[in-house]
Amino acid sequence: MALRFIILGCGWVGEAFAKEMQKRGYQVYATTTQEHKCQRLNDVGIHAFVMDFDNLTSVDGLPQSFDFVLTSVPAVRSLESSTVKRRFEGVQLFLESIAFTKHIFLSSIGIYPDLSGVFTEEVELSETSNLLIAEHLLLINNRTTVYRLGGLFGKNRIFAKYFQNKICTTGNQKANFIHLLDVIELLYLGFTTGLKEQLYNIVCLEHPSKRDVIIASAQKYGLDLPLAFEDFGDFQKIISGEKITQELQYTYSYANPILF
């Protein structure tokens, strides 16, 4: 029998991952809060269900065992912390209702403060955030690994597109980005190999300025440049993604955001 994935909160990354795992011969299940998305996923052979973890009451209709669980349910910064706590208690309740081998939660490097310095997974975070609440709730389970993703690009997400004919105020800051194709491969390896830790930054090893990334992607895709670069808040934050690449001996498809 083919190994079985379930993706909780099947968003942009989750859907791309689901389709790739389906191509590789896995059975893929997914949850979404949207009826139309549920239908679209079912139409391409992904077993989709509508599920709202903010108000989870039952998990009827789903199999009771999976090999791998990917959670990409968002811990949105603008939400009340009580809402985020209830949402991820719902995720935890679901995990407790099924049998599974490994679980990966997609968090974000937005969990780190906007300060100059190099941030590794070992940095102690002093300020409680919605992301930290979500991580703490899910890390109670020792089969959980957290991936803190850098800024996500690939497919139709092109950095320069968001600055066309606008003023860019962050050009001097360092790019802490990751390409979708590398996320998918690192997820696959995270599930199918034995990771040693519970927390990893998923970020390119090279950190050019955002200005250089904008200029390179505008040239590559024929997009307009910003009207001007007027830099404010020029802190130099670098998120280290070395731990997982060293552990897995992984070579990025896109090692530098300038290549996106």
Each residue's pLDDT, cut to its tens digit, for the chain (260 residues) gives: 678 999 999 999 999 999 999 999 999 999 999 999 999 999 999 999 999 999 886 666 778 899 999 999 999 889 999 999 999 999 999 999 999 999 999 999 999 999 999 999 999 998 889 999 999 999 999 999 999 999 999 999 999 999 999 999 999 999 999 999 999 999 999 999 989 999 999 999 999 999 999 999 999 999 999 999 998 767 899 999 999 999 999 999 999 999 99
Q: What is the CA radius of gyration of the chain?
A: 19
Instruction: Count CA atoms closer than 13 A to 19's CA, side-chain side.
Output: 11
Q: State the Cα–Cα distance between residues 24 and 95, nearest whole angstrom.
A: 25
Widest distance between CA atoms in the chain:
57
Predicted pLDDT at 186: 98
Please check whether residue 210 is in contact with residue 170, taking contact to mean a CB–CB distance below 8 angstroms.
Answer: yes
Query: Residue 39 phi/psi, 5° resolution?
Result: -65, -45
Q: Is the dihedral of CA 129, 240, 106, 161 positive or negative?
A: positive
Predicted pLDDT at 58: 67
Strand pairing report for 68-71 and 102-108: parallel
Q: State the Cα–Cα distance between residues 237 and 157, nearest whole angstrom.
A: 22
Residue matched to tokens 């968003």: 11
